[in-house]
Amino acid sequence: MTTYPRGAGYETKFMVSGERYVNTHKTKEEGEAWELEQRSRIKRGLPVLTGADDATSSKAHKIQTLEDLVAHVHKVRWVMRSAGSQAKKNGDLFSAWAGPKSAPGDVLTTEKIEEYMLYRRSLGNANATLNRHLSTLSTLISSALALKVQNVNPVMIPWQKEGKGRLRFYTPEEETIILGTLIQWGHTAWADFCIFLCDTGARLEEAEAFGKIDPVTGKPRVKLQWGDIRGNAITFEDTKTNMPRTIYATPRVMEVLKRMKARDDTPHGPFEWVSRRRLRTIWDELRAEHKWMGRDTVIHTFRHTCASRLVQAGVDLYRVMRWMGHTDINTTMRYAKLRPIDMEQLTGVLANYGQQRDTQPCTFSSTISASPEGLTH
């Protein structure tokens, strides 16, 4: 996010396709919510709302109940996201628990959220699942604050600590088996998609198309477009962190892009034909065919594989961080343990340093006294 203190309030700035947008808000939460909503409007071809728009106050007036708020957030934010359907489901679950006709200001409180987390935990939800529900509630609160919904106040979200989990990545042999099986089954395009994810480290939602026609613009919702690819430079504009990044294609990715360009169903982007439902079916078939894959191998494992290979090749973590689009170096540090370090080689480094030292003439001044008390320079 790009919201910073300014005077007695906050200023939000962001840029899309070279055009800059600026607005001021009373709170940081309002600024962040405004940016997310305007980015969504831009994607749908709608004008950006700036200032204390009458539209904002009129929308707030229409949002009287929790189900109103969930429906509004789904319309302007979740519907445009690859994980939006799950967020909407989580919002509906909270609405059913708290009461769909409840006033947002009465149920979006610290006490109610903590009570809801206890309820979800009683159902057996793990911390990671609880955090997905909390993320949904956080979005509802930030949107309500931006719309100035009555009696909604900022809330400290009780995020749950998640385990680090296993860092799973594919070996070259495993990758060969997966790609070979897909090709053998006639899924060559899906094999190409996997190659792209593996060699670029792209998140699934950064490369895929939503597979639907936008009802407002009438155009396909395509994230990675042909205009984002110039030579071997690939720019991911629409990312999880809202920070565009550019990486460079390997030779086999360049071949994949050539094959995608030759298809009839890729006029806007190389992977607008990708369907998550179809991908899920194919992946389940792969797991059934190769028992070693297990439940811990998912399509996102190709992203882990990319980062792991960079680190294992000795690439410094800062460059890996930039390539992967991490905003926190601690995320990249998870791969540090994969860096090849031969401890015995370290003695050679120290020995070489010692030899260089021994070959250098002594440069201590002759004025240094032999007694500790008389040390002078």
When pLDDT is averaged across residues 120-149 and rounded to a whole number, the result is 89
Strands 229-230 and 220-222, by their bridges, are: unpaired
Provide the pLDDT confidence category of residue 27 given band limits of 50, 70 and 90: confident
- The dihedral through the CA atoms of 138, 202, 35, 31 has a sign that is positive
Architecture of domain 187-338: Orthogonal Bundle (1.10)
Which pLDDT score is estimated for 258? Answer: 97
Mean pLDDT of the chain: 82
Which pLDDT score is estimated for 118? Answer: 93
Cβ 35 vs Cβ 2: under 8 Å: yes
Query: Which of the pair, 237 or 310, is modelled with greater confidence?
Result: 310
**pLDDT greater than 60 at residue 373:** no
Task: Give tens-digit pLDDT for 143-198.
Answer: 898 888 889 999 889 988 876 666 789 999 999 999 999 999 999 999 999 999 99
**pLDDT greater than 70 at residue 62:** yes
- The dihedral through the CA atoms of 243, 246, 252, 253 has a sign that is positive
The DSSP line for 40-87 is: HHHHTTPPPP-SS-HHHHHHHHH--SHHHHHHHHHHHTGGGSTTHHHH
Q: What's the residue count for the chain? A: 377
**pLDDT greater than 80 at residue 121:** yes
Which pLDDT score is estimated for 106? Answer: 94
Q: Where are the domains of the chain?
A: 1-42, 52-163, 187-338
d(CA 134, CA 91): 10
The token pair that represents 206 in the structure block: 């950064």
Least confident among 25-29, 140-144, 339-343 = 339-343
d(CA 241, CA 34): 16
Task: Give tens-digit pLDDT for 318-364.
Answer: 999 999 999 888 889 988 888 766 556 666 667 776 666 566 655 54
Q: What percent of the chain has pLDDT over 90?
A: 43
Which pLDDT score is estimated for 54? Answer: 43
Helix (H) or strand (E) holding 12: strand 9-16
